[in-house]
Structure 1
Amino acid sequence: MSELKTLIAQELAQPVDGRVTAFAAAIAAQYGEASRAVLFYGSCLRSTELDGQMLDFYLIVSDYEAAYGKSWLVGANRRLPPNVFPAEHDGLVAKVAVLSESDFHKLNRIGASAVSVWARFAQPSRLVWQADEAAQVRAVEAIEGASITLFDMTFPMMNIDTKYNIVDLWKRGFELTYGAELRAERKDRSGSVVDSDPERYARFGPAVLAAIAARDEVEDKKLKIVASRDAVEKRWRQLRRNGKLLTLARLAKASATYAGGIDYLAWKINRHAGTDYVIKPWQRKWPILGALVMLPRLIAGGAIK
């Protein structure tokens, strides 16, 4: 096992609050034998605060048909992954994103059409439930691609005449990913993610570099042409466009899968941007239209970047 995979496996296995593992087991139980893994990530993992917060889980399933049967949710999850659902357990609340093992692997790679998955799993996460050892192995393999993708997409965007340390590379990478989505967080949020545990990123950085070097050596030992800055900047423009459009599309989809989704959106924006936007009754009745009215105002006001 590579050093990077070893670090990921060790990090995924770190203990969390028992209420989180119980919550994860309850989520997995809803999907029966289709459930393969449940991952816990995000601000609640970093802060360890659970009460009164919205926890973030990814449920990894064997495939969508096994998870949903013949429901229309199969096509929705396949065409616009992930599906997102609300969940409650033992006084805690969460949102649960559902991906197949195949999609989880692909969306952590550089060919993904948006940054949302690999940007999150380049950050710490915990494997809080697994079906078996094979599910754990596949989760590690999928997550390995996240940091490698972040570095591949960040190297060409660094100024060539400036000296950096490995933590600076992580910060620049997260700055770029935050700019590629409709985000309500403060401008400095990407840096604070790294600053919350700089030793972790300093430890993982050399392992990511080693994994990239090993990858390039294995590929028939042929010369790998490093993408030019212009080419990568073009790719980032595509990701920014895709990310913002996908945010709106997923919001529209969530109106059918996520009761109270527009209230959650407002809560998240108010929490991170310091605004006090209040959802009106008609916006709950017609959440897609309500969101379309809300978002341009928030973007114009700087609450969403």
Structure 2
Amino acid sequence: MTSKADQELTTFILDEWKRPVPDAVKQAAQAVADKFGDCVSGILFYGSCLRTGDIEEKVLDFYVIVDSYKEAYQKRWLAIANQICPPNVFYHEMDIAGMTVRCKYAVLSRSDFAFRVRPECLNVSVWARFCQPCILLLPKDDMTRQSIAGDVAQAMKTMISNLLELIPGATNSRDLWVEAFEQTYSAELRSERRGKGLEIYLLDQDRYDALTALAEEAMGIVPGPIPPIKQPPRTERFVPRLKWFARRCNGKFVSFMRLVKAAMTFDGGIDYLAWKIKRHSGVEITVTDRMRRHPILSGISLFWGLKRKGAFK
């Protein structure tokens, strides 16, 4: 049974989803949804374009939540690839009122999304990503909207509980979220440098402070001042550190495999990746015609060189 505190946390998410969204974003989301027909449960809009409100010359970020992979794809191999190493990632662009609107969209099933926001999911990418602001577009019905909002609320609790397990002394909202974002960014192949966690927190400080109180209440954590915590014995710190080490190993391997897979599904993927890395890290990549013709082999050969240049954490 859902507690009152859980309901309040979910209501917070539902209220966030009432924010206005530019018509161009709605049209792009509808165009993406049309590719998958009636099996779309909803499309989650997230990322820097949502945070800043700037969409011109940017790439919109969507997660397409589908009822099942089998229903979503006409090609069986795409359904299998999405099941084995979710999500599949695609690219779409369209002209809207004379402006080229670009979007990157990942596909995840309802069941995969529900699992990947829970504490037992080792990979951080979904529960860490949806602690940040998002808006659900084109929900199938109100029951689906409520269900996905509950999953997003669960992502908040998963993020906080996993961080507190590692650092019990993170007693205020700023310390908690900044360190949580730094830890989860380090558990993926990310081009962002250290300090990104603080930047994300400061963009929506009031939001994260409010969410901390709601999530901790839903988790049964007593609010208010907490006395200084003695450093746990070394044996007690070993298991949480081991878990986060496993998350980093898993996250980097899975991120790499997703990049390889995206090379087969993402038109212009090599060019997009080069642009993204330069934007976030300053590392410039010269993309050749040969790299565009053989994106998978080129991506693998480039990986270690980019790692040495500091393009990835």
Please, what TM-score do these two structures have when normalized by structure 1? 0.91
Which range moves more in the overlay, 79-88 or 288-297?
288-297
- Unmatched 5+ residue regions in structure 2? 222-234
The equivalent of 1:27 in structure 2 is 32
Distance 1:164 1:24, change over 3 A: same
The equivalent of 2:260 in structure 1 is 252
Match of 1:269 among 268, 274, 277: 277
- Structure 1 residue identity aligned to 2:216: L
The equivalent of 1:210 in structure 2 is 217
1:164 is displaced (CA, Å) by 4.0
The equivalent of 1:157 in structure 2 is 166
1:156 is displaced (CA, Å) by 2.5
What root-mean-square deviation, in Å, do the aligned CA atoms of Structure 1 and Structure 2 show? 1.6
| Residues 1:95 and 2:100 aligned together | no
Distance 2:244 2:185 in 1: 11
- Structure 1 residue identity aligned to 2:202: D
Match of 2:137 among 120, 123, 128: 128
Contact 1:167 / 1:205 at 8 angstroms: preserved in 2? Answer: no
SS at match of 1:130: coil
Map residues 109-120 of structure 1 onto 2, 5 A cutoff: 109-120=118-129
Please, what TM-score do these two structures have when normalized by structure 2? 0.89
Distance 2:193 2:153 in 1: 28
Distance 2:69 2:18 in 1: 26
The equivalent of 1:229 in structure 2 is 237
Which range moves more in the overlay, 92-101 or 63-72?
63-72
Distance 2:154 2:90 in 1: 25
How many equivalent residue pairs?
Answer: 291
Distance 1:189 1:70 in 2: 38
Contact 1:105 / 1:141 at 8 angstroms: preserved in 2? Answer: no
The equivalent of 1:219 in structure 2 is none
Distance 1:172 1:296 in 2: 27
| Residues 1:43 and 2:52 aligned together | no
The equivalent of 2:72 in structure 1 is 67
Q: Deviations over 1:201-243 (max 9, x none)?
A: 01111101011119xxxxxxxxxxxx94321111111110111
- Unmatched 5+ residue regions in structure 1? 215-226
Aligned structure 1 segments of 4 or more residues deviating by more than 6 angstroms: none
Q: Deviations over 1:245-275 (max 9, x none)?
A: 1111111111211121121111110000012
1:79 is displaced (CA, Å) by 0.7
Q: Deviations over 1:20-70 (max 9, x none)?
A: 112112211221110110110011111111011111000001111111145
Identity of aligned residues (%): 38
1:13 is displaced (CA, Å) by 2.4
